[in-house]
Structure 1
């Protein structure tokens, strides 16, 4: 296993206490990467949904009644008055007016960016998980060896 300094450490040489600490650290790292992956997928889903909503802004739907979301659970009635332009939330309260095609392109780029980030995190997360499995196997072997040694010591003939 690679240590932070780039050296390889033989897990079998570490005491059980250090292996437990390493296992806990790897647990935390796997959890962090899992949460990060979930957040990226959630954001990606929202951008895909926004991109799909732009497909509904067609001349056929001009002046039709719509529900405008104020929050995730509150909507107000409205009317689609412009099917050429949209306001896109680009983050931290900033909105930019774009054409429908510009909006679709913006969301496509965002989805592609998040997909690349997910593809970067996935192998790291899998490697951390594999490392944790290896640590758990070594812990199990060491515990079994300790139990066997204790049993042998208990079965030794007494003088």
Structure 2
């Protein structure tokens, strides 16, 4: 019988899947399924954040001196807007998280959103790599479960004859 092993994250010991029984393999698979779901949810959340940072960066790009004095709609809530007039095209107030805002000049705001998009993208890449590793381990577990179930079926076959 072939030995399939799964190596978890660096620093943790390697598990020889061939030494686990079917129930232990099923529990390990279930745990990996849950972890993969959490990673998928994290990726989805990061994708939304990335989109908001990209959108904000694009909005800052549109802040040029020629739009000074234009009327715009200012969001008060997700579904309520009030008219406003652009008074300053050289500075913006940006949401930096957890209820805090900062005033930045246009170049500073562009740089801020560029760095945020880059950071979120890097985090997404890390999560994707981790997800791929966990998927490989899950596949190895499924393979070992199939092998053990097949061996179990073969062992029961002669006794029933």
Match of residue 80 from structure 1: 86
* Cα-to-partner distance string for 1:102-133 (whole Å, 9 max, x where unaligned): 11111111111112212222211100011011
Could you say what secondary structure the match of 1:6 adopts?
A: coil
TM-score by length of 1: 0.89
Cα shift at 1:92 = 1.4
Query: 1:134 — aligned with what?
Result: 140
* TM-score normalised according to structure 2 size: 0.88
The CA deviation at 1:142 is: 1.3
Aligned pair count?
A: 155
**Cα distance in structure 2, aligned partners of 1:117 and 1:31:** 17
- Which has the higher Rg, Structure 1 or Structure 2? 1
CA distance in 1, matches of 2:85, 2:8: 60
Aligned to 2:3: none
Secondary structure, counterpart of 2:101 in structure 1: strand
CA RMSD of aligned residues (A): 1.7
User: Using the alignment, how far apart are the partners of 1:8 and 1:57 within structure 2?
Assistant: 54
Offset of residue 8 of structure 1: 2.5
CA distance in structure 1 between the partners assigned to 2:121 and 2:148 by the alignment: 41
Of 133, 150, 153, the match for 1:147? 153
